[in-house]
Structure 1
């Protein structure tokens, strides 16, 4: 059964839950989502012998605070990782993936992470296409300030990614994904050792649309990574 988690930040309280036992995955949801989108993914990973921790990000679900800047979201990710044993694999979907990349700019944060999984997001975003994609999903207005801040940070996100010294996996969908072949190639130019997996029949929100396939892609690709420590 899931166990409740609570993380106090200077300006917010973040609520989450954990399930399973074993090496830890920190699951970070997309903007406009909440932690429970990970429930079926976490259940599948727990059945495979892993422990999964997921929080509502600030300004989402039960968590307080405002999601106005990428830095605030990244600081939350750093705090989440500080509360976990070293060696977590971070799995971030969309906003969660970008917040994870931003958090990994800090060497102390990187030292606690054994690998990064980006779920249908890349750090080399194209502003016009991002805004068009978000507008089609009705998300531009609700997160306008955060979107502006993220796009202003794209050069920094690219630099951080190019300097990462850990395994990296990109999982993307093939049916309405936000990640094009050109996006994939740009990521590979920044981090050539990146593994790329495609989940068939999924669009942008793979955790919601194909949770079992996402869990399988994660476990298959990360099996050869250095094992995280047990909780």
Structure 2
């Protein structure tokens, strides 16, 4: 199966990987900016999100993205990943290091990470609401947990719609297949890497970002004092500027 996706622009390939709270629409604010900046921009929906159906067999999200790149004839690409999308980007960059030209991680998850108390508590509450059929309650829990103080009503409604759609698609599945999680050696990553965290995010994601420079040669960490877990939705313009500057320095070399 080929993931549902959009492609626009010309130039070096740039792939946007969404959070598991959202789908590919989370990149709407940055999409035209990155196209205008001179990239061939690709964004996709993981299985069970947006327009991609749930899996009907065992699978891996990194493998799906690899298949999409091959389908599009892309041999090398820069990756931008938010939250779970960052975890997928890390797996790709570690297992296919010569495919990835640059890596930007926004509140990234980490393969093999053991959740701390706050993240574990969130997961338990979400599971309980989902299993009770209270999708509305599960959606609101996600909106309140993952959006920081900069997020306005319109942004909260946008996330609400994306998360609600994902829950509806996933709850309707007759059989559930969860993506396989690979054990990866982050020291194999060759691409320039910027790990971004938000000061209002859960401790897990702040600590992951802060420690990635210890695990990825040459990686940099940047904490945004105003941000929660989804800075690209909280201050879209600021994140677009951050992305274009880092990619200009690394991918374009200017």
Shorter chain as denominator, the TM-score bin is 0.7 to 0.9
Q: Matched residue of 1:172: which SS?
A: strand
Please report how far the alpha carbon of residue 217 of structure 1 lies from its aligned counterpart in structure 2 after TM superposition: 1.2
Matched, 1:120 2:142: no
User: Does the C-alpha gap of structure 1 residues 193 and 199 become closer, same or farther in structure 2, counting only changes over 3 Å?
Assistant: same
Q: Matched residue of 2:102: which SS?
A: strand
Please report how far the alpha carbon of residue 103 of structure 1 lies from its aligned counterpart in structure 2 after TM superposition: 2.8
**Mapping of 1:163-182 within 5 angstroms?**
163-177=188-202, 179=204, 181-182=206-207
Pick from 168, 181, 184: which aligns with 2:209? 184
Q: Does the 8 A contact of 2:197 with 2:209 survive in 1?
A: no
Write 1 or 2 for the structure with the bigger share of strand: 1
User: Which residue matches 2:68?
Assistant: 80
Q: Does the 8 A contact of 2:107 with 2:206 survive in 1?
A: no
User: Does the C-alpha gap of structure 1 residues 226 and 102 become closer, same or farther in structure 2, counting only changes over 3 Å?
Assistant: same
Q: Matched residue of 1:186: which SS?
A: helix
Q: Does the 8 A contact of 1:74 with 1:99 survive in 2?
A: yes
User: Across the two proteins, how many residue pairs are aligned to each other?
Assistant: 206
Please report how far the alpha carbon of residue 204 of structure 1 lies from its aligned counterpart in structure 2 after TM superposition: 0.9
Please report how far the alpha carbon of residue 44 of structure 1 lies from its aligned counterpart in structure 2 after TM superposition: 1.8
**Mapping of 1:15-164 within 5 angstroms?**
15-66=4-55, 72-82=60-70, 83-106=72-95, 109-123=96-110, 125-129=113-117, 130-135=119-124, 138=126, 141=130, 146=178, 150=181, 153=182, 156-157=183-184, 159=185, 161-164=186-189
Please report how far the alpha carbon of residue 30 of structure 1 lies from its aligned counterpart in structure 2 after TM superposition: 0.8
**Cα RMSD, aligned residues only:** 3.0
Please report how far the alpha carbon of residue 49 of structure 1 lies from its aligned counterpart in structure 2 after TM superposition: 2.5
User: Which residue matches 1:194?
Assistant: 219
Please report how far the alpha carbon of residue 182 of structure 1 lies from its aligned counterpart in structure 2 after TM superposition: 3.5
- Larger Rg over CA atoms: 2
Please report how far the alpha carbon of residue 33 of structure 1 lies from its aligned counterpart in structure 2 after TM superposition: 1.1
* Alpha-carbon distance in structure 1 between the residues aligned to 2:246 and 2:14: 14
User: Does the C-alpha gap of structure 1 residues 21 and 15 become closer, same or farther in structure 2, counting only changes over 3 Å?
Assistant: same
Write 1 or 2 for the structure with the bigger share of helix: 2
Deviations 1:163-202 (A, max 9, x none): 2122111122222355555433421211141122333422
* Alpha-carbon distance in structure 1 between the residues aligned to 2:37 and 2:31: 10
Q: Does the 8 A contact of 2:9 with 2:35 survive in 1?
A: yes
Q: Matched residue of 2:3: which SS?
A: strand
Q: Does the 8 A contact of 1:120 with 1:179 survive in 2?
A: no
TM-score, length basis structure 2: 0.69
Q: Does the 8 A contact of 1:67 with 1:146 survive in 2?
A: no
Please report how far the alpha carbon of residue 209 of structure 1 lies from its aligned counterpart in structure 2 after TM superposition: 1.8
TM-score, length basis structure 1: 0.75
